Structure 1
Amino acid sequence: MEHIEGTGHLRMVGHPMDHNDVKTKVLRARPADKVSVWITAILIPLFLIAPALWNGYPLLQWDTGGYLARWYEGYLVPSRSTVFGLYLHFGEASDFWVNLGAQALCTLWILQLTLRVLNLSQPFRLLAISLLLILTTALPWLSSLLLTDIFAGLSVLSLFILIAHGDKITPLEKLSLALFTAFAAATHSATLGVLFGLCVLGFLARPFLREKIALAGLTQASLSLVLGSAMLLSANYALSGQLAWTPGGIGVAFGRMLQDGIVAKYLNEHCGEEKLKLCPYRNELPATADEFLWGDSMFDKLGRFKGLGDEMGHIVVRSLADYPAWQAEAALKATAQQLVMVATGEGTISWLPHTYGIIEHYIPLQVAPMRAAHQQHGEINFAAVNRLHVPVALASMLLALAIFALALWRRKFDDLALLAATVSFALLGNAMICGIISGPHDRYGARLVWIATLTVLLAAARYFGDEDEVEADDASLPR
């Protein structure tokens, strides 16, 4: 027997602490915990938007203007979610600082929930892991940016919690996570695709992992995606009068095939027998999809998506049938390239004429603070940042995959291995969807790869963690 100092309790030496001992330990630490909780709750959100605070204005990207314009223009634009456009509109009066605050707080919330359900919840541990993520990944740049990208990684974590750890959170938290997941899915079709793929994999894996994957959690997660789809359709109808999905998938896929040379070959082989608008330009096609779709090209002369949409769809479908082996090879190559394209900051530059034009036309009161920001003076350089971010991202992907593979080899699949599996499949699914449809871009990799770094940090925390501390954390979980 031994006396636990300051508690008035005895316990058997060598025996685990019972629930009352753990509860006493937690209660005794409560004053210090309150201070550390407040320090964590204040510092993490501030550091998450530190790039925007330094910039003097939320960071902008070349796609930002398309989302901002959705409220004002009243029609659907390819690849620009009206749900995210409405979200940005609600923050206009605050110069979008409300949006950045919401992004930072959602990030803090999801991070602490992830630690909590893995029995790693401790304020200073949360602070340490968050600071490491802020220093070594794209996370603070994503949360400081007016773009959908921050919600991609967060939604993978929220889906994981719903499916694998729904029994460890309260009903209110479960509802909040479902609503958050639905919103995130509605902000970008690629995010919806990744989440849908994870749900499908969850149903396929459930017969082998019944104790880890609850049917109720899978059902709730799947329903959240249905809700997200309904959100998008409703917003599209409310703003445009069209009950339709956000357009652009075929056009974006066409751009990727153009970049791979498939479109040029199709035109050269079929222009003699088909009357296609692009035939006169078949020898002048731009080298990249971005140049064709968003630069000064024949795409503009031929009416953009409205004028060329049907023809691009025709070429995409016919070329899939005509060149299946080439398409498969291009798809594999694009997926592989996308997996390793993870640099931070793509498109967050000083030359953003479309975004600037949208702000000047529709939100003129924000022109002055926008023009005064460091970004608009070319003072952001991601080269130095990526000397750290890129190797950390690539190493994190390999280590997360190693955690998953080791669990399979040992046939011991704990909650951390399940997270590593979720993250690995999310990264692969993201690379397939974005690489094959849109073509590889650093932006698509950077917005998700930070959750691999989080997984590695959580594994390190589990390995080096204090057993008593984990027991105390477990005692604080909902029962």
Structure 2
Amino acid sequence: MHTQILRARAPDSAWVWLSAVAIPLMLIAPALWNGYPLLQWDTGGYLARWYEGYLVPSRSTVFGLYLHFGEDSSFWINLGIQALATLWILQLTLRVFGMVRPWRLAAISVALIVTTALPWLTSMLLTDIFTGLSVLALFILVVHGDKTSAIEKCLLFAFTAFAAATHSATLAVLLGLCCAGWIALPFLRSRIAISGLLQGSLTLIAGAAMLVSANFALSGKLAWTPGGYGVAFGRMLQDGIVKQYLRDHCPQQNLKLCPYRNELPATADQFLWGSSVFNTLGRFNGLNDEMGFIVTRSLAEYPLWQAQAAIVATAQQLVHVGTGEGTSGWIPHTYGIIERYIPSQLKPMRAAHQQHWDIDFTIINRLHVPIALASMLAVVAICGGAIWRRKLDDLSLFAATVTLALLGNAFVCGVISGPHDRYGARIAWVATLVALIAIVRHFAGRDEPDGSLPP
């Protein structure tokens, strides 16, 4: 019997070592091919936080410090951390679902790498990889904490707190999930432990404290990351609400934007990041108070219009799931930050394929977009099936959590920033993971939860 067990475990051991080496390499394959970590328009704003010593809108100092930690390695340490964290959370997710066979981890990982944005997110110097991973980490900590060790709980707690601190939208999605958990707790006491939900909620407090502390350490200001009003203003501008407000109030209110009300661009991106009147009036420093005033007053004066715009933006964001938005050769701000503050990185950065416009996501998205949309429909179908059967198992609860995360992400990003493919792609891959777990369970059945071999 002992010999049979050793023979049975030998293939599993081989899969463990193969997965431990091959999966992280595949997760950063786009960066390896590129010859340098992938950059995005927003990357430069995070890189500059260490050097500039002041707060800028929507750029977390926590993530800026994280990037600074990896500068001496040309940021390959950052990609290594992201790849290993992804592998760890994927295997932990499969483990708590009783799918402990290493070859299944390898198969599901390869499927995600080929069919979703996951390797592109892992290969990029951006906060987006932590959004989906933090949803998984929070779910494990809250729902399956009893299946993890004390060390794993501590690591999950720290990881979720860090992810929440890297971006306000990620924090908002996690906060929404925790609120939903507390609301559902009276009905799901057999599935959700109060201790787990409390631990999950405390991660957000820890993440908020982490961000405020980093802001104070770098800028001397005990403050949250600025920029919420400016981003929301851009979305309202795009929906036509700002122009209507200016038409209604400029004769009475002395606003800086009044003389330019007929020259405002059509989109938020053109207003905030292009050559627009926003630059003329001092950008965030010059217009932040006025933008906040217009945002709050517009919410009160046009509530139905705002509600309709929010619903439309959320719906549009749900279907904006294309891979690679903002990952082109035209990211002058990020190039400028690297040239100014990290000149030693210029040569490898300029030699990369991305800087030669060699990356084209057209063919990639012919696969990724339909897979993402189909996966999201599959997750909703799993939830619907559970409601129809009036039976909530662990997979249905997982699907419900991911559904809420998808909706929360679409609402937060679509309503505040406006629909973008980047915001959808960073979390849509989690829906594909749910679908893959459902498929494996359907065709292969469940492993033993403790990973033991059958007699």
**Residue of structure 1 equivalent to 2:148:** 169
Q: Which segment drifts farther, 30-39 or 210-219?
A: 30-39
Task: Report the TM-score when normalising by structure 1.
Answer: 0.93
**Residue of structure 2 equivalent to 1:438:** 417
Alignment of 1:215-234 (within 5 A): 215-234=194-213
TM-superposed CA distance for 1:161, in Å, is: 0.1
CA distance, structure 1, for counterparts of residue 46 and residue 159 of structure 2: 19
| 1:110-141 deviation digits (Å, cap 9, x = unpaired) | 00000000001111100000000000000000
**Residue of structure 2 equivalent to 1:393:** 372
Which structure 1 segments of 5+ residues have no match?
1-5, 8-23
**Residue of structure 2 equivalent to 1:116:** 95
CA distance, structure 2, for counterparts of residue 205 and residue 221 of structure 1: 15
Tell me if 1:363 matches 2:378. Answer: no
**Residue of structure 2 equivalent to 1:12:** none
Q: Give 2:175's aligned amino acid.
A: F
TM-superposed CA distance for 1:32, in Å, is: 2.4
Tell me if 1:254 matches 2:230. Answer: no
Instruction: Give the alignment partner of residue 107 of structure 1, picking from 86, 94, 97.
Output: 86
Instruction: Give the alignment partner of residue 462 of structure 1, picking from 437, 441, 446.
Output: 441
**Residue of structure 2 equivalent to 1:95:** 74
Change (3 A) 1:475 1:55: closer
Alignment of 1:233-272 (within 5 A): 233-272=212-251
CA distance, structure 2, for counterparts of residue 112 and residue 227 of structure 1: 25
Alignment of 1:315-394 (within 5 A): 315-394=294-373
Tell me if 1:150 matches 2:91. Answer: no
Alignment of 1:288-327 (within 5 A): 288-327=267-306
Task: Report the TM-score when normalising by structure 2.
Answer: 0.98
TM-superposed CA distance for 1:30, in Å, is: 2.6
**Residue of structure 1 equivalent to 2:185:** 206
CA distance, structure 1, for counterparts of residue 8 and residue 45 of structure 2: 50
**Residue of structure 2 equivalent to 1:196:** 175
TM-superposed CA distance for 1:28, in Å, is: 4.7
State whether residues 100 and 451 of structure 2, in contact with CA within 8 Å, keep that contact through their aligned partners in structure 1: no
CA distance, structure 2, for counterparts of residue 36 and residue 25 of structure 1: 18
CA distance, structure 2, for counterparts of residue 26 and residue 49 of structure 1: 35
Q: Give 2:288's aligned amino acid.
A: G
Aligned length: 453
**Residue of structure 2 equivalent to 1:14:** none
**Residue of structure 2 equivalent to 1:47:** 26
Structure 1 runs (4+) deviating above 6 angstroms are: none
Structure showing greater radius of gyration is 1
**Residue of structure 2 equivalent to 1:138:** 117
| 1:409-458 deviation digits (Å, cap 9, x = unpaired) | 11111111111000000000000000000011000000000000000000
CA distance, structure 1, for counterparts of residue 184 and residue 276 of structure 2: 47
State whether residues 98 and 451 of structure 2, in contact with CA within 8 Å, keep that contact through their aligned partners in structure 1: no
**Residue of structure 2 equivalent to 1:18:** none
State whether residues 117 and 425 of structure 2, in contact with CA within 8 Å, keep that contact through their aligned partners in structure 1: yes
Q: CA RMSD in A?
A: 1.2
Q: Give 2:51's aligned amino acid.
A: Y
TM-superposed CA distance for 1:208, in Å, is: 1.1
CA distance, structure 2, for counterparts of residue 105 and residue 281 of structure 1: 50
Q: Give 1:351's aligned amino acid.
A: W
Q: Give 1:301's aligned amino acid.
A: T
Tell me if 1:474 matches 2:453. Answer: no
